[in-house]
Amino acid sequence: MELKLVQAPFETVEADALIAVAPEGSAQAPAAGLEDVDRACGGWIAEIHATGEFRGKAYDAAVLHRPAGIAARRLIVAGAGKTANAAEIRRAVGAAIRAAKRIGAAKLAVVVPEGGAAVAQAVAEGVVLGDWDSDRYKTGNDRHPIESCAILASGDVAAAIERGRIVAESQNFARDLQNEPPNVLGPLALAERARAMAAEQGLECEILDQDQMRQLGMGSLLAVAQGSVQPPALIVLRYKPAGGGAGDHLGLVGKGVTFDTGGISIKPSDNMDKMKYDMSGAAAMIGAMRAIAQLKPAIAVTAFAPTVENMPGGKAQRPGDIVTSLSGKTVEVLNTDAEGRMILNDAITYAKRLGCTHLVDAATLTGAIVVALGHHYTGVFSNNGAFQDKFLASAARQGEKMWPMPLDDEFKDQIKTPFADVANVGGRAGGSITAALFLREFAEDTPWIHLDIAGTASYDDGRPFAAKGAAGVAVRSLVDLALNW
Ligand code: BES
Ligand code: MN
Ligand code: ZN
C-alpha cells in the first residue's frame, strides 16, 4: 500500500472513501472535532447522531455514499469512543480501514484529527495495521488490499507519519512470521527470514548452529531441541548506532518455539494448532529490529532469538532429566512443556556475556498469564522498578496494554528441588510468576523485563481493528523504548 502525506482541504480529495474520526458524543450532541466535515456533508453526522444510529462509540463505523460537498465517493466516520486518545484513534482508523476493505474501497484518504505528531503517527499506524490480513495462503481472488491512502494533515508531521509507517510495517512483518504454518517455518526457516531481513535493512546477523551451541555449553536450549528432527538455531541481530553508542546496550530476547507439542509432557490436541504462535516472542524481536535498523536510535540494540521445535521424538528429553545451562546452573526438567524458560535462560546468559546492560524478553510463556490477564493485557515482570516504569511508559504511548505483575521471593520455594539448582516448573499456583522467577535466576542483577505475551500474541477471533491471527504485540513498545532511551 502506498501511504502519502497530502496537505489539501479534505473536501477536494478524490478517493473511494474518506475516513474521519469521531470521538463519542453524548445523547445531546456530537463531540467536538468534526464540525467541518459535518458542515461539508450537509449535517449528516449530526443527523445520525440525533437518531442514535451512530454516536462515535469505539470501533463503530458509519458509511455515507456520494456525500454532497465532498469529492470522495464515500465518507466513513469512525468512532473513537469517549477516550479518543492516540491509542483509540489508532484502533478507530484500523477499524475504518477494515470496513473500507470489506466494501472493496481501495483508494482511501484519512483526515488526521487535532493532536500533533503522536496522533499523526497513530493514524499512519492504524492504516497499515488495519490493512494487514491473514490471507497469504488463500488462492482465490477475494482479497481486497488497500492500494493507497492519503493522510490529510496540516503542520510538521511528515516525519511522524514516516515513523508510523516503518513501525507498523515492521509489526506486520512480525505478524507474517507468526502466521506462517509450522510445516513452513521451522527453526532454520525462521533464521533464514531473519537473515534476509537483516541483509535488506543493514543489520549484522549471526546464526549459531547446534554445534556452536554445544561448544558454548547451552545444555538447556539443546535439551528442548533434541526431540525434533529439525535442528535449533540461535539468531543474533545487531544494531550499532553511529559513533558506537553511549555505553548502554539493550538486549532483546524472544522465545522462538516454532511449534510446541509439549514434548513428552504432550499437550491435549484441542487448539494445538495455536502453538505455531509459540515463536511470537522471537517474531516481535525480529520485527522490532527491522524498525530499529531504519529509525536508528542512539542506543546499541542486539536481538537474540533462540529457536527450536518442541517435539516428542525418540531422542526427546524426559521429565526427570537434569541439564546444565550455559550459566552453569543445573535445571531439573519436571515438565517438558515448560520449554520456553529452558531456551530463554541460555539466551539470556549469552546476551549478558555479549555485553548487554539491559534486557527485555518476550515469550508466549504460560497459560497462567491468560487466566490472570485474559487476552487484553501483556504481563510485565521485572527485577528493576525504574526500568519497568520506563518500559510501561513506552507501552502506554504506543497503545499496547501491559500490566505489572509481582516478582516476589516468597514464590521461590515452588521452583526448588533437591536434585538440581532449579526446577523448570513450580506448580499451578502463580504459574506465570514462578516462570518469571525462573528466568530472573539467569538475568541475575542485570536490569531485565519479562513480557509474558501468551494471551496477547494472537487474536483468536479478530477485533474490529485487527484481522483474526497474529497480533505483532510488543513491537511498537520495544521500538519506542529504544528511540526514547
Ligand atoms: N507455549 C506454552 C504457553 C502457552 C499456553 C502459550 C497457551 C499460549 C497459549 C508454554 O510452553 C507452556 O506449555 N507452558 C505451560 C507451563 C506449565 C507446564 C508449567 C503451561 O502454561 O501450561
Ligand atoms: Mn510448552
Ligand atoms: Zn511453549
**pLDDT higher than threshold 80 for residue 337:** yes
Rounded mean pLDDT of the chain?
A: 97
pLDDT tens for 258-291 read 999 999 999 999 999 999 999 999 999 999 999 9
CB-CB contact of 22 with 49 (8 Å):
no
**pLDDT higher than threshold 90 for residue 2:** yes
Catalytically annotated residue among 195, 267, 274, 390: 267
Which CATH class, in words, describes the domain spanning 167-483?
A: alpha beta
Place of cell 510538521: 156
Please tell me if the CB atom of residue 308 comes closer than 6 angstroms to any atom of ligand 1: no
Q: How far apart are CA 401 and CA 1, in angstroms?
A: 27
**358: number of CA atoms within 13 Å, CB side?**
20
- Best of 366, 371, 432 for a ligand 1 pocket test (most atoms within 8 Å of beta carbon): 366
Q: What pLDDT score was predicted for residue 119?
A: 97
Catalytically annotated residue among 175, 341, 397, 476: 341
Q: How far apart are CA 230 and CA 347, in angstroms?
A: 19
Mean pLDDT, range 160-185, rounded to an integer: 98
**pLDDT higher than threshold 80 for residue 143:** no
Length of the chain: 485
Q: How far apart are CA 164 and CA 8, in angstroms?
A: 20
Q: How far apart are CA 288 and CA 362, in angstroms?
A: 12
Q: Which ligand is nearest to the CA of 375?
A: 1
Say if residue 138 is exposed, middle or buried (CB neighbours under 10 Å; 0-12, 13-18, 19+): exposed
For 292, residues 6+ apart whose C-beta sits below 8 A from its C-beta are 239, 301, 479, 482
Q: Is 267 one of the annotated active-site residues of the chain?
A: yes
Q: Rg for the chain (alpha carbons), in Å? A: 24
pLDDT tens for 22-40 read 999 998 889 999 999 999 9
Q: What pLDDT score was predicted for residue 441?
A: 98
Residue nearest to atom 5 of ligand 1 (CA): 367
Please tell me if the CB atom of residue 337 comes closer than 6 angstroms to any atom of ligand 1: yes
Query: By three-state DSSP, how is residue 126 classified?
Result: helix
**pLDDT higher than threshold 90 for residue 243:** no
Q: Is 428 one of the annotated active-site residues of the chain?
A: no
Residue 458's beta-bridge partner residues? Answer: 470
Q: How far apart are CA 38 and CA 30, in angstroms?
A: 10
What atom in ligand 1 is closest to the CA of residue 277? 8
The dihedral built from the CA positions of residue 197, 165, 135 and 473, taken in this order, carries a sign that is positive
Q: How far apart are CA 386 and CA 223, in angstroms?
A: 35
Domain segments of the chain as ranges: 2-153, 167-483
**pLDDT higher than threshold 80 for residue 244:** no
CB-CB contact of 300 with 241 (8 Å):
yes
Q: How confident is the model at residue 142 (pLDDT cuts 50, 70, 90)?
A: confident
Helices marked H in 145-232: 158-179, 187-201, 210-216, 219-225
Do domains 2-153 and 167-483 share one topology? The answer is no
Place of cell 502525506: 5
Q: What pLDDT score was predicted for residue 141?
A: 72
**pLDDT higher than threshold 80 for residue 242:** yes
**pLDDT higher than threshold 80 for residue 307:** yes
Ligand 3 centre to CA of 341 (Å) is 9
Q: What pLDDT score was predicted for residue 65?
A: 96
DSSP 8-state assignment for residue 266:
P
Q: How far apart are CA 166 and CA 3, in angstroms?
A: 11
Closest CA to 237 of 196, 187, 272, 203: 203
Ligand 2 centre to CA of 390 (Å) is 30
DSSP 358-391: EEEEEE---THHHHHHTTT-EEEEES-HHHHHHH
Query: By three-state DSSP, how is residue 183 classified?
Result: coil
**pLDDT higher than threshold 90 for residue 104:** yes
Residue 404's beta-bridge partner residues? Answer: 380
Residue nearest to atom 17 of ligand 1 (CA): 338
Please tell me if the CB atom of residue 372 comes closer than 6 angstroms to any atom of ligand 1: no
CB-CB contact of 106 with 147 (8 Å):
yes
Q: Percentage of the chain with pLDDT > 70?
A: 100
Q: How far apart are CA 276 and CA 372, in angstroms?
A: 22
- Best of 317, 337, 341, 453 for a ligand 1 pocket test (most atoms within 8 Å of beta carbon): 337
**pLDDT higher than threshold 90 for residue 476:** yes
**pLDDT higher than threshold 90 for residue 227:** yes
Q: How far apart are CA 163 and CA 171, in angstroms?
A: 12
Mean pLDDT, range 345-374, rounded to an integer: 98
pLDDT tens for 57-103 read 999 999 999 999 999 999 999 999 999 999 999 999 999 999 999 99
Closest CA to 236 of 170, 179, 307, 324: 307
Ligand 3 centre to CA of 25 (Å) is 44
Query: By three-state DSSP, how is residue 326 classified?
Result: coil
Q: Range with the lowest mean pLDDT among 24-33, 214-223, 308-317?
A: 24-33
Mean pLDDT, range 435-451, rounded to an integer: 98
Please tell me if the CB atom of residue 278 comes closer than 6 angstroms to any atom of ligand 1: yes
Q: How confident is the model at residue 191 (pLDDT cuts 50, 70, 90)?
A: very high
Ligand 1 centre to CA of 323 (Å) is 20
CATH topology of domain 2-153: Leucine Aminopeptidase, subunit E; domain 1 (3.40.220)
Q: What pLDDT score was predicted for residue 140?
A: 83
Residue 251's beta-bridge partner residues? Answer: 302, 359
Q: Which ligand is nearest to the CA of 455?
A: 1
**pLDDT higher than threshold 80 for residue 248:** yes
Total-model pTM:
0.98
Mean pLDDT, range 364-384, rounded to an integer: 98
Q: What pLDDT score was predicted for residue 222?
A: 99
Q: How far apart are CA 125 and CA 165, in angstroms?
A: 6
CB-CB contact of 89 with 31 (8 Å):
no
